[in-house]
Each structure stands twice: as structure tokens, then as C-alpha cells.
Structure 1
Amino acid sequence: MSAPARGDAFAVEQLSPDFGFYLRTTDLLAEARSADQHIEIVQTPLFGRAMRIDGCFMTSEQDEFFYHEPMVHLPAITHGDVRQALIVGGGDGGAAHNLLRYPRLERVVLAELDREVIDMARQWLPAVHRGAFDDPRLELRLGDGRAYIESCEAQFDQIVLDLTDPFGPAVALYTRDFYRLCQRALKPGGVLSLHVQSPIHRGDMMARIVASLRSVFGVVRPYLQYVPLYGTLWGMAMASDRADPLTVSATEVDARLAARGLNGLKLYSGATHHAMLSLPPFVKNLLSAPAAPIDDGDDLDESSLALPAGALCLVEG
């Protein structure tokens, strides 16, 4: 781990050749280069401490709930009685923390590729994981998440795919071949959730991921949430053989939250459950058009960008 740097800078994240955003940082608190990726913890005036991986923002202290609450609670409340859960990725601990809030939950397996992500999050992002790594119900499995699911004989009530973007080695976790493995690892009525990119700047990719899910699961419900740290409207999806979030009323969602003591959520509620699932016409049109599912071996190269990913623009003066 290198020594921290000081001084204001703009962390620039270019999402496509035509679109991106910047965030002012005041300190580089920690930095590590593992065998798999480049990990940074930066201090920001707006979001507090934030984690970046390979130049892309992953999570922050102040806005993590925009991502973690929809990813975890919409499928968990739809299921109604999650006891055994699996997270693939999720090394920041935010998804694990939200699952571990359920008093009847017995076991969460966290299958994370990179130990360095967990170590950095444990030390620098306690406001995100909130002690999840020390909960006796959490079981860490370091290594390739797909390999874990391929060899795992256990089945789960809920699987959360908390992954990096579908480029490079991560493509293997976005194919319908992988989703078939996830389906096998789910109990009857089990639920799967994942992010599916943005309809704003990666609409084609979002459509292909959703098409891949629909080729495997009987119920696939995309939903939307703006995530400030990602700079755009973000897509997620829930998939299952029979559990359907559209059949759970707002009143029932709130009743299930109250029964489980989940009274301190910042975003997810009965009202937002259905608001996120209510897709605008342009997204419905995007996802109703023909799209090719993603198969093992497909090459999904990210569009070339005008700036190096995650470039830091120093502020002078």
C-alpha cells in the first residue's frame, strides 16, 4: 500500500466517449495494486470516503444506500423469508450488511475475488460495511465467484451479484451460461438480483443482459434507481422462477419491513418498491426490442474513451 497523497484533485470518470462526470477529492487515503486490480480510497467533500477500482467509483460513505438498498431489499422482501444468501463480489461489505439486518437470516456467503478489496473496505469504509465482516453469520470465500457457484452443492434463497462492469474477465459473470448456474444454486422461489448498466449511456448492454436473464428465468423484473456516485440513472434487475415483486403491494412491503425491524432504511419502502419497478416508456421500448443474449466466449470490449479511465486532473492555484 502506497503512502497517501494530499491536495485537491478532480477524479474524472468518463462513462462513454460523449458522457462522464467529475468529483472533487481532497486526499488519496490509501492505494493498493493487487494481482487483479487497482484499488483506491479517496476523501471527497460531497460523499465522504469513496472506493475506486480501476479508476471507477464503486461505493462511498454517504451515497451507498442508493445502490445497496434496492439491490438487497427489493428481492429479499419479495421473497419474504431469506435464510441462506450468497453475494458474488460485494467486497465493500455493503450488501452483506443489508442482508445481515434480517433477524431470521442464518448464513451469508461472500464470494469475493480480491482479498485486498475486503481489507481496504474493512479499514477505511466502516460506514459502509458497519461491522458485517465480523458477523459470525458471514462466511468469506476468496476466489473466482463463478468457480464457487460451479462447485457449490448448497442452494440459496437469495443471490446478489454485486459485480464490476461487464468488461474484461467480468464478462463471464454476465452470460446466460452463468445465469443457468445461478438458477441451479437457487432454491425453489429463490431470488437473484444484479445491476444491469444504465439505459442512458449503455442501453445496448442493458438490453443484452436483460435478454440473457429472460432466456433463463421465468420472472425478470428490471428496475431503475439514480445512483449519485455513478453519475447517472442506473438499472438493476430481479430474477426468479416464480417470485414476482410486482405482486407485493406497497402496504405489504411496509408490513414486511416493520415485522423484520427494518425501520432505518434511507431509500427502500413500499412506495419506492413500486416506483423503481415502474419503467418509463423509453426503457420499456429499449427492453422490448430484440437483443442478443450474452454467451460464454462473447467479446464485450468497452468503448474506447478519450481520457484514461479514472484520470486525475490536478487543481492548480
Structure 2
Amino acid sequence: MNKPYNGQFHIELLNPNYGCAVRVTETIARLRTEYQDLEVVDTPMFGRMLLLDKVMMTTERDEFFYHENLIHVGGLAHPGPRSALVVGGGDGGSSEELLKYSTMQRVVMAELDRGVVEASKQYLQKVHRGAFDDPRLTVMIGDGKAFVERTDQRFDIVALDLTDPLGPSVQLYTREFYEACKRILNPGGVLTLHVESPITRPQAYQRIVATLKAVFPIVRPYMVYVPIYCAWWGMATASETVDPLALSEAEVERRIAERGIGDLQYLNGAVYRAMLSLPNFVRALLAEPAAVITTDSLLVDEVGDPTFKYDLVARK
């Protein structure tokens, strides 16, 4: 087995002045997919880790910080989700969380890169936990943006499990794309997504939330710490009618039990309510004017060079 790291650190920049490092002991798989470089590596801290173009995506031991909270804040606020679309999410983690709902009848994953799905099936079983074998899941390989814009299907939940808006995916952070997502939501449906970090990319965070508010009347940003992202990470729900803040701690616990959602390592009623309570510095950030992102005014923020994130090294 190829071992180029040999105990060295994988170092990733979150902005030009800040980053994080994870020791890697072994490369389990390395390949070039149709769209990107893919690696599955082993780490003492987090177990197996997926990297795309040298960017850390998910790991066996910390995936629940991201996937549980991306899905269940909006999923529990919905009165009874039966159908869901995941745009991206080729590792299967978001789909696995959606399939925990006893009410869920249909999940569609629209993933661009077949290579990510196949590698995840083979090497990341502790992330997807067999979701790809669930007959309720349909995997559509292709452009998720095009799928959303063209489909005549409708969903109770649309989850945007995307890479950062630093390359082609920036088109999926626009008002036009959020409007397309709104079109395919059933009445009472919920859009859920990550919105970057108010710590490492505050202007991007501001603009994404402002763009959601230009499309949906109810937008609820919330904060989650994700270890391999090395920062408090922003997520949000957006809806015409569904408001996660309307749920009490007791109601969250009741819905978790009623819907048969088991094996939650992060989320409970108290945590649910706490995540929606924004710190003062985030409130102040969101109170500032921010330009809406459109196809004619794409996200350009404090990072400057959009390739910075890929300027990575592995050092002792």
C-alpha cells in the first residue's frame, strides 16, 4: 500500500492566515476521478479520512458533528418528512441520517462524482453505515444544479451537502439556485445547508445568509463545531413556513423518539435549542449589510485568491 505521508501532517489552510493539521499514517486509496483527486487515508485521531483535491471532507470519528446537525435541525422541525434530496453528499453520511426517519419513504442523492460514491462505498462504511444498500435511496450521478433546475420531483427536505464555494460549486450558493431549490420543495418544506464559518470566512458567511433571506421568509442560522474544519461552522435552515425555533427542548426529544431516530452522538433537545442561540459577535455580523450573491455577482470575499485552500503541504 502506498504510504506517502509516513506519519507526516496533512496541513490545510482555512484562510490565508489560519489552518489546521492532522497526522496521517497511511494512504488507503488514491485515485483521479473524472473531476478531482481523491484520497482515503488513515489517521490516529479520526480514523479513515476522505480528501478531495487535498481538502478534508469527512472522517469516520467526527462525521456526526457535521451530518447529524446538517440534517436533523431542519428534519425535526418539519412536521413529518417523507421525501428528501441531497445535493452532493457522495460519502453517504447525510443520506444515512435522513434514512433514520421512520417516516422517510424516498431519498435522492444527486452527486456529480461517481468516484466519490464508489470510494465511499468501499472504504467509508463507518460514515454511510450501509445507506447505499437501503432501497429507499436513489443515487443520481450528474450535475446537482442541473437536476434541481430541471426535475419535476418535489421534496420535503432539500439538503445541500456541498464543497466550499471556492470553485465551480460557487454557482450553488446563488439566489438563483436557492430559488430553484425553493421551487422543488413541497409546501412546508425545508432547505438545509452549511454556510461557511463566521470565524474563518465572515464575509462569505454574511453574504450566504443574506442570499438565503432574499429568497425565504424564515432563515435560521446556527452554529456547530466540526473538528476537522477546525472552527465553529455555520449551518442554516430556510423555509416558507417551518421554523426550528418554534420547537421546545421537550418537543425535540418527543419527535426524536416518535420518529425512531436512533444512534445520535451529538444532537438532543437541549443541544438543538442551544445551537440556534447565536453568540453576540455572530448577531452583530449578520446585522451588517451584505450583498446578495447572484450569477452576475458571485461570491468574492476576504480570501482573495480562490485557489488558496488547495495550496497545501504535508510536513513533519
Shift of 1:312: 3.5
Q: Using the alignment, how far apart are the partners of 1:234 and 1:158 within structure 2?
A: 21
Question: Residue 314 of structure 2 corresponds to which residue in structure 1?
Answer: 313
Shift of 1:223: 0.2
Q: Using the alignment, how far apart are the partners of 1:15 and 1:188 within structure 2?
A: 37
Instruction: State the TM-score, normalized to the length of structure 1.
Output: 0.95
Question: Residue 85 of structure 1 corresponds to which residue in structure 2?
Answer: 84
Q: Using the alignment, how far apart are the partners of 1:75 and 1:4 within structure 2?
A: 41
Question: Residue 67 of structure 2 corresponds to which residue in structure 1?
Answer: 68
Consecutive unaligned residues in structure 2, runs of 5 or more: none
Q: Which digits, 9 at most, give the CA deviation of each residue in 1:249-274, with x for residues without a partner? A: 11000000011222320111111111
Shift of 1:4: 5.3
Q: Note the 1:126-205 alignment, pairs <5 A.
A: 126-205=125-204
Native 8 Å contact 1:4 1:30 kept in 2 = no
**What SS is found at the alignment partner of 1:141?**
strand
Native 8 Å contact 1:16 1:305 kept in 2 = no
Native 8 Å contact 2:166 2:307 kept in 1 = no
Native 8 Å contact 2:15 2:309 kept in 1 = no
Which amino acid is 2:31 matched to? A
Question: Residue 29 of structure 2 corresponds to which residue in structure 1?
Answer: 30
Q: Note the 1:13-24 alignment, pairs <5 A.
A: 13-24=12-23
Q: Which digits, 9 at most, give the CA deviation of each residue in 1:193-219, with x for residues without a partner? A: 000000101000000000100000010
Instruction: State the TM-score, normalized to the length of structure 2.
Output: 0.96
Which amino acid is 1:64 matched to? E
Q: Using the alignment, how far apart are the partners of 1:3 and 1:115 within structure 2?
A: 23
Is 1:105 the equivalent of 2:112?
Answer: no
Native 8 Å contact 1:80 1:256 kept in 2 = no
**What SS is found at the alignment partner of 2:41?**
strand
Shift of 1:288: 1.2
Is 1:282 the equivalent of 2:281?
Answer: yes
Q: Note the 1:111-130 alignment, pairs <5 A.
A: 111-130=110-129
- Computed over aligned residues only, the root mean square deviation of the Cα atoms, in angstroms, reads 1.6
Which amino acid is 1:40 matched to? E
Shift of 1:313: 2.3
Which amino acid is 2:47 matched to? G
Deviating runs (4+, > 6 A) in structure 1?
305-308
Native 8 Å contact 1:253 1:270 kept in 2 = yes
Q: Using the alignment, how far apart are the partners of 1:306 and 1:274 within structure 2?
A: 36
Count the aligned residue pairs: 314
Q: Using the alignment, how far apart are the partners of 1:310 and 1:53 within structure 2?
A: 13
Q: Using the alignment, how far apart are the partners of 2:45 and 2:122 within structure 1?
A: 20
Which amino acid is 2:261 matched to? L
Q: Using the alignment, how far apart are the partners of 1:107 and 1:154 within structure 2?
A: 11
Which amino acid is 2:27 matched to? L
Q: Which digits, 9 at most, give the CA deviation of each residue in 1:258-308, with x for residues without a partner? A: 112223201111111111000001001111110001001334455349977
Shift of 1:63: 0.3
**What SS is found at the alignment partner of 2:189?**
strand
Q: Identify if the C-alpha distance between structure 1 residues 135 and 308 changes in structure 2 by more than 3 Å, giving closer, same or farther.
A: closer
Q: Identify if the C-alpha distance between structure 1 residues 310 and 59 changes in structure 2 by more than 3 Å, giving closer, same or farther.
A: farther
**What SS is found at the alignment partner of 2:6?**
strand
Q: Using the alignment, how far apart are the partners of 2:307 and 2:241 within structure 1?
A: 44
Q: Identify if the C-alpha distance between structure 1 residues 307 and 100 changes in structure 2 by more than 3 Å, giving closer, same or farther.
A: closer
Native 8 Å contact 1:6 1:27 kept in 2 = yes
Question: Residue 53 of structure 1 corresponds to which residue in structure 2?
Answer: 52
Native 8 Å contact 1:56 1:310 kept in 2 = no
Q: Using the alignment, how far apart are the partners of 1:78 and 1:18 within structure 2?
A: 37
**What SS is found at the alignment partner of 1:207?**
helix
Is 1:243 the equivalent of 2:248?
Answer: no
**What SS is found at the alignment partner of 1:166?**
coil
Q: Note the 1:4-15 alignment, pairs <5 A.
A: 5=4, 7-15=6-14
Question: Residue 304 of structure 2 corresponds to which residue in structure 1?
Answer: 303
**What SS is found at the alignment partner of 1:12?**
strand
Q: How much identity, in percent, do the aligned residues show?
A: 48
